[in-house]
């Protein structure tokens, strides 16, 4: 089940508030693979606030599209608070957006470990020349679709918190 409908209200709130504030948004997605951008762009009028989205599924994409340092990826791994922050900062640096949100996690079913279990997701939300937020979620092994949807929801919530902070 990959039904985005229950998440549209959240996306609408973010688009409406960013529109009112005159702010553009960029997304930097790994495990959600485009879900956050797809949710935001489902809202009519979102072209006024969605600048662009980076779906950086491979480590090479994270480095080449967002400038995430290769040695950082090697040292702490793609699923880490440090890489989430570098992704969001990279999305700001490589776009015209005012706000960026990043998502990197382990959606499963494979790829988990004791230290980084399936369901672990790191997020960052950054405002250009402004505050940033970091968030770590451990959704548990809910299944791939449920983890990705929960992560997309959390990313929208972080954008809203960043809009509150502004």
Q: Which of 15, 18, 50, 103 binds a copy of itself (CB under 8 A)?
A: 50
- Check binding of 104 to a copy of itself (CB under 8 A): no
Nearer to a copy of itself, 108 or 119 (CB): 108
Helix or strand (DSSP H, E) at 135: strand 132-138
- Check binding of 42 to a copy of itself (CB under 8 A): yes
Q: Near a copy of itself by CB under 8 A, which window of 24-32, 115-123, 127-135, 158-166?
A: 24-32
Helix (H, G, I), strand (E, B) or coil at 28: strand
Tokens 């999305």 — which residue? 91
Shortest CB 104 distance to a copy of itself, Å:
12
Calculate ∠ Cα 132-135-141, nearest 5°: 155
Q: How far from chain centre, in Å, is Cα 101?
A: 4
Q: Which of 15, 18, 35, 85 binds a copy of itself (CB under 8 A)?
A: 35
Using CA atoms, how far apart are residues 65 and 84, in angstroms rounded to an integer?
Answer: 14
Q: How far from chain centre, in Å, is Cα 83?
A: 12
Nearer to a copy of itself, 116 or 134 (CB): 116
Q: Which of 16, 17, 19, 33 binds a copy of itself (CB under 8 A)?
A: 33
Q: Helix 59-66 crosses helix 81-93 at what angle (to 10 degrees)?
A: 40
Q: Which residues of the chain form contacts with a copy of itself (CB under 8 A)?
A: 1-5, 8, 27, 29, 31-42, 44-47, 50-58, 60-61, 64-65, 94-96, 108-110, 144-145, 148
């Amino acid at each position: 089940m990959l039904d985005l409908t229950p998440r549209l209200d959240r996306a609408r709130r973010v688009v409406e508030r960013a529109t009112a504030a005159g702010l553009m948004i960029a997304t930097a997605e790994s495990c959600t693979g485009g879900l956050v951008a797809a949710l935001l762009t489902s809202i009519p009028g979102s072209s006024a606030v969605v600048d662009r989205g980076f779906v950086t599924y491979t480590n090479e994409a994270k480095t080449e599209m967002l400038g995430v340092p290769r040695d950082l990826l090697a040292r702490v791994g793609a699923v880490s608070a440090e890489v989430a922050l570098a992704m969001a900062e990279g999305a700001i640096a490589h776009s015209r957006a005012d706000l960026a949100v990043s998502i990197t996690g382990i959606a499963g079913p494979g790829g988990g470990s004791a230290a980084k279990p399936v369901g672990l997701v790191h997020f960052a939300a950054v405002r250009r020349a402004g505050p940033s937020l970091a968030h770590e979620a451990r959704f548990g092994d809910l299944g791939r679709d449920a983890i990705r949807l929960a992560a997309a929801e959390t990313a929208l919530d972080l954008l809203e918190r960043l809009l509150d902070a502004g």
